[in-house]
Amino acid sequence: MKNKREDIINLYAKHVSPGKVETYRKYDITFVPGPREECILCDIDGRKFINCHCNGGVFNLGHRNQKVIRAVIGAMKVYDIGNHHLISKPKAECAALLASMMPKGLNQVVFGVSGGEAIDLAIKLARGVTGRSGIISAKGGYHGHTGFALATGDAKFKDKFGSMPPAFSQVAFDDIGAMEKAVTDDTAAVILETVPATMGIVVPEKTYFSRVKKICEDRGALLILDEVQTGFGRTGKMWGFENFKVLPDIVVLGKGMSGGIYPISATVYHERYADFFRKDPFVHISTYGGSEIGCFAAMETIKISKSAKLLSNVLKMGNYFKKEFARLSMRYPNLGLKVRGIGLMMGLEFKDEMTALFILKLLFDEGVYLVYSGNDPRVLQFLPPLIITMPVAKRIIAAAHTAFAKMG
Ligand SMILES: Cc1ncc(COP(=O)(O)O)c(C=O)c1O
């Protein structure tokens, strides 16, 4: 078994990514996922891990959710990818279901394959309907690595790729004064994650988004909220923005929408902009965007995610983790642990990057898998599956206790 595992790692290094393999080997955290079920992701050598990252929300419903699998298998008996030029029953029904879950007016849907693609479309739409070019994003935010999405990001991600599209700028997140200064009569849109994950799971002040929306409205710009990580129940509400009493003009969805089974993403926008695509319905095209099979994965995912039982579990377990991590932070003050987040979108901030990385490795050794925030490595992203139960949660806290004791 060990040899077979080494063979896979070597083959991956040879043909996919030698750099990733070198990095994981260096930190002794090579992980080759094999069997997976609900909260558990096993290495192919049989070691069990509790998945506390879930690919930023892809596995909100756990691994291989059986209801989503049944929906996809059922769809495969009748459908295929579909033809993006033609009218489609699954697309129509999936869009209608999404619209029924959104605030009034946010009822127009363009499907994509990935979050980045859906972000690109949101920016195209904002530029198209306003006739302006300015796009303002948050320093340290992250919206993907495709064209316009990449242009919203930090320099370190785009420096190597030559000149970017013009008129993209960044401001500090949760700084209303900075936003006030940045939005001008040439701003097409402000784009923000509801809770920026790569920045370090930063929860803004309660009125931040409604104030940003007001600034946008006053100057004729649109507000795009990126719900790629916060959507589908992650914060204990169906959409993260429901925690902030704000009505975005465009909402971007991805990751969890797939149920972890079949890729699909969406850009949902207000009906007042529908004319843009009416005039030129072929101005944006994606062959696999909203594949018919993906629509079935999404519809089942939405049905499960909107259930009161799931959403209340998110709040209950989120409170449990907050309380337990706060208790551990008092017990091990040397770690400088601060806990933040909403629902099961949590950030564990340690006193410095080194401490966070050691804790990550110690947790890995205890069978808990999570990652750090790319733009603030002091923060471990803690995003367990939303279906997590109390016995599994207790195992995570026990593992954290062991890891913290070794460092504290
Ligand atoms: C908040 C956010 N937006 C957009 C994206 C891009 O999604 P994708 O990787 O599917 O293109 C990500 C991916 O991590 C994300 O976290």
**325/269 Cα distance (integer angstroms):** 38
Cα of 54 from ligand 1 centre, angstroms: 13
Distance (Å) from CA 116 to ligand 1 centroid: 6
Cα gap 212→222, rounded to integer Å: 10
Task: Determine the atom of ligand 1 nearest the C-alpha atom of 227.
Answer: 1
Q: What is d(CA 216, CA 362) in angstroms, rounded to the nearest whole number?
A: 45
**For residue 94, how far is its CA from the centre of ligand 1 (angstroms)?**
21
Residue 400 Cα to ligand 1 midpoint, Å, equals 28
Task: Give nearest CA residue, ligand 1 atom 7.
Answer: 115
Alpha-carbon torsion (176, 158, 197, 401), positive or negative:
negative
Instruction: Report pLDDT for 101.
Output: 98
Q: How far is the CA of 153 from the centre of ligand 1 (A)?
A: 11
Distance 408 CA to ligand 1 centre (A): 34
Residue with CA closest to ligand 1 atom 8? 115
Identify which of 255, 258, 264, 265 to mutate to test ligand 1's pocket (most ligand atoms within 8 A of the CB). 255
Q: What's the gap in Å between 398 CA and the centre of ligand 1?
A: 31
- Specify the pLDDT at position 3: 74
Q: Which atom of ligand 1 lies at the shortest distance from residue 263's CA? A: 10
Token reading at 377: 């490595």
**Structure-block tokens of residue 2:** 């060990």
Q: Are 243 and 51 in contact (CB under 8 A)?
A: no
Predicted local confidence at residue 196, as pLDDT: 98
pTM: 0.97
- Name the closest-CA residue to atom 3, ligand 1: 143
Which of helix, strand or coil describes residue 193?
strand
Atom of ligand 1 nearest to the CA of 113: 10
Mutate to test the pocket of ligand 1, among 117, 224, 229 (most ligand atoms within 8 A of CB): 229
Read off the tokens for 90.
């699954």
With the most atoms of ligand 1 within 8 angstroms of its CB, the residue from 53, 123, 228, 241 to mutate is 228
61-85 as b/e: b if 16+ CB within 10 A: bbbebeebbebbeebeeebeebebe
Alpha-carbon distance of 367 to 378, in angstroms, equals 21
Closest CA to 109 of 286, 300, 229: 286
**pLDDT value, residue 349:** 98
In the chain the domains, ranked by start, together with CATH numbers, are: 31-64+307-407 (3.90.1150.10), 66-305 (3.40.640.10)
Alpha helices in 220-370 (DSSP H): 275-279, 292-305, 308-331, 353-365
CA 65 to centroid of ligand 1, rounded, Å: 21
User: Which residues lie with the beta carbon below 6 Å from any ligand 1 atom?
Assistant: 56, 114-116, 119, 142-144, 193, 197, 226, 228-229, 254
Q: Return the residue whose CA atom lies nearest to atom 13 of ligand 1.
A: 144
State the pLDDT at residue 2. Answer: 64
Closest approach atom of ligand 1 to CA 255: 10
**Beta-carbon contacts of residue 11 (< 8 Å; ≥ 6 apart):** none
- Ligand 1 centre and the CA of 144: distance in Å? 5
Per-residue pLDDT tens, the chain, 408 aa: give them.
567 999 999 999 999 999 999 999 999 999 999 999 999 999 999 999 999 999 999 999 999 999 999 999 999 999 999 999 999 999 999 999 999 999 999 999 999 999 999 999 999 999 999 999 999 999 999 999 999 999 999 999 999 999 999 999 999 999 999 999 999 999 999 999 999 999 999 999 999 999 999 999 999 999 999 999 999 999 999 999 999 999 999 999 999 999 999 999 999 999 999 999 999 999 999 999 999 999 999 999 999 999 999 999 999 999 999 999 999 999 999 999 999 999 999 999 999 999 999 999 999 999 999 999 999 999 999 999 999 999 999 999 999 999 999 997
Q: Are 250 and 261 in contact (CB under 8 A)?
A: no
From the CA of 40, how far away is ligand 1's center (Å)?
23
Q: Which residue has the tokens 């990514």?
A: 17
Give me the sheet containing 222-226, strands edge to edge. Answer: 106-112, 265-270, 250-253, 222-226, 187-193, 134-138, 168-171
| Cβ count within 10 A of residue 407 | 13
DSSP string, 89-106: HHHHHHHHHHHHTSPTTE
Largest CA distance in the chain: 64
